[in-house]
Chains A and B, each alone.
Chain A
């Protein structure tokens, strides 16, 4: 299975909004509403920030939102804060009943 495609890096200034894309195929992202997003700070475990494309776990800021169109899912972070600087990974269920992650996107807060 091939990793989902994410941009290697994105950046934004505090207070701005950014969007990270996650592109797959009809066998994963496009075929199911089972896309999750994780935030990972260096030397820390990943943290679930969105599941089921657009659902936020309890305690996750409303500044994080998700959507999907066709084979591409997107994570939008509004009102950027310094602590948002991290790596972000999407993940999707696949038609082979496995899980595939995206390659990860490094977010830099300028």
Chain B
């Protein structure tokens, strides 16, 4: 069974950098899947942040592109998200997810989500 687990600080100061890691088990991150980050701000809908392939190829949401960077660590079977210059608007539950196909990106496995609060 495929399992994804987010980890990282739950509190980030304004103007700082949000960093999260998604550990994958039950599947190889070096396979044919793409790996995404999705967030949900309090009381709002889902927002796709971007994705990464094991080769390092990335695609980002244009609205976040200038602040987002994703990376993959094949030796640890995990991938990461960095979001810079955060504000209160970046407070959200962040999910990592596996896309079972590309380019359609149907997410068949998700992490349980990690709440990140931006506050001083």
Q: Are A34 and B103 in contact (CB under 8 A)?
A: yes
B110 in complex: contacting residue of A46, A57, A101, CB < 8 Å:
A46
The segment out of B12-20, B58-66, B72-80, B83-91 that lies at the interface is: B58-66
Q: Are B46 and A36 in contact (CB under 8 A)?
A: no
Residues of B within 8 Å of A89, CB to CB, are: 45-46
In B74-120, the 8 Å CB interface with A consists of 95, 100-101, 103-108, 110-113
Q: Are A97 and B46 in contact (CB under 8 A)?
A: no
B103 in complex: contacting residue of A36, A52, A97, A102, CB < 8 Å:
A97
Can you give 13 A-B contacts (C-beta < 8 A)? Answer: A1-B62, A38-B46, A46-B110, A48-B107, A51-B100, A52-B106, A96-B62, A98-B62, A99-B51, A101-B38, A101-B47, A101-B48, A104-B46
Binding site for A on B (CB under 8 A): 36, 38, 45-48, 51, 59-63, 95, 100-101, 103-108, 110-113
